[in-house]
Amino acid sequence: MAQDRIYSVPLHHVGDFEFDDAVADVFPDMIRRSVPGYASMLSMIAQTAERYSQPATTLYDLGCSLGAGTVLLQQNAATDCRVIAVDSSAAMISKLNARLEKDNAGGAKVTTVQADIREVPIENASVVVLNLTLQFLPPEERTTLIQKVAAGMQPGGALLLSEKICFEDAAQQQLMTDLHHDYKRAHGYSDLEIAQKRTAIENRLIPETLATHVERLTNAGFRSVAPWFQCFNFSSILAVK
């Protein structure tokens, strides 16, 4: 696993964060050291696919990156399912394609699509995963996507949504931010790396409150909306139609 050293030296200008070749090369290390509870989020993808996938339906991994969730959907899908893995990053899709060709893990057929997730039809879905993805869309466009997912989902299907969240109370927001930064330091990131990464991502990743996510999912028609996980300022919700 290549180590994430992207922000380890002082930069004269810190540009907006992009899922480019440099990030794709170190992404497993980056997300492991940046997202508390990431392993639990992945294990829930497998559990959700096993419990909620329906025969002859489609499972979607929207914002699939290198396909950690895609492979879990593939391995745990019901009979005659297919998996569609979507990401706008050419670097991520290229590496995922190489992984799928090499691993040949069996299970459901996987189709990879390099595209904006807002432009991909959702049809005959029984499981949809948005794993740390919705947060990168403009807030005003998130409701439309969630409504499209709900409309394209079979009754009894499930959406697994994991996000970085924010808090209305300023003191709680500061505490969760401080604890998250402590987590990063404990996993080897320097204060310089933390500061530069925060500058790079602050205009790209716009978090919302957990209550906002729950309300959006409920209004889209999901009959059960259950926040099942939170660690610091990261949360995951299981929504069942």
Q: Is 64 annotated as a binding residue?
A: yes
The span from the CA of 216 to the CA of 232, in Å, is 22
The span from the CA of 18 to the CA of 206, in Å, is 14
Q: Is 117 annotated as a binding residue?
A: yes
Q: Is 116 annotated as a binding residue?
A: yes
The span from the CA of 191 to the CA of 213, in Å, is 31
Q: Is 104 annotated as a binding residue?
A: no
Asked if 121 and 152 count as a contact pair (C-beta separation under 8 A), the reply is yes
Asked if 66 and 28 count as a contact pair (C-beta separation under 8 A), the reply is yes
Buried b (16+ CB within 10 A) or exposed e, 77-88: bbeebbbbbbbb
The span from the CA of 148 to the CA of 166, in Å, is 24
Binding-site positions: 38, 63-65, 116-117, 131, 198
Binding residues for S-adenosyl-L-methionine: 38, 63-65, 116-117, 131, 198
